[in-house]
Amino acid sequence: MSQCVGVVDYGAAGNTFSIIRALEHAGAEPRVIKGPQDLSNVDKLILPGVGSFTDGMTELTASGMAVAVRDWAQAGRPLLGICLGMQILCDVGFEFGETAGLGLIRGEVRAMHCKGVVPHMGFNRVSVQGNSPLLRGLGDDDHLYFMHSFEVQNYTNIIGLTEYSGHQFVSAVQRDNVFGVQFHPEKSREVGIRIFQNYLSL
C-alpha cells in the first residue's frame, strides 16, 4: 500500500508540480497541502520551496501552515524540507532583513560567499556525514541538482556536506524526525528518486 505524502503548497514560494511527479515515480501517493485542514490521513510531509526566506515564511504564516508544520514535526512525524524548505526549518534567515524561521533545526541562513558564481547552480556531489537513512546508498559518483544563493550555517545536525569553488557548505541536515536537503531531489533524476524512496522507507 502506497504512502500518502503531503506536499505543502504555499503560493509563489512553492514548487510542487515536479515534486509530485517525482514522488509518484518513487511509489508514493502525493497530496497537495494548502492549509492545516488538508493534513488528515497524511503519512509524511514535504516542505518544498523556491525564492526568498522572507516570502516563504510570510506565505506559510498567512495560511496557518507555519504553526501546522511545526506542530507536525514536534509530534514526531517525518518532515522533509527541500531547498528553501530546508532553510525555513532553521531558527532565523538573513535575506532582506532578519526573519524568524520554524526553529526545528538549529542554524542560521546567510548569503553564500565564495570564489565561484552565486547562485550555485547545477549538479554537484554530497559527502555523506554519519549514517542517516535519508542518504542511504548515496555514493561519490552520484550528483544532485542545486540552485541557491543562501546556505544553512549549522554545526550540530549535519548529514551532508558539499564543496563548491573551494567553499564547503551544509547540503543536508537531520534532527530526529526532521530532515532537510539543499539540493532538489525532484530535479536529480534517478538519484533523486532514490532519496525520495529512502524517505518513504523511514
Which sequence positions are flagged as catalytic? Answer: 83, 184, 186
**189 contact partners, CB below 8 Å, separation of at least 6:** none
Closest of 21, 22, 42 to residue 31, by C-alpha: 42
Closest of 102, 115, 128 to residue 45, by C-alpha: 102
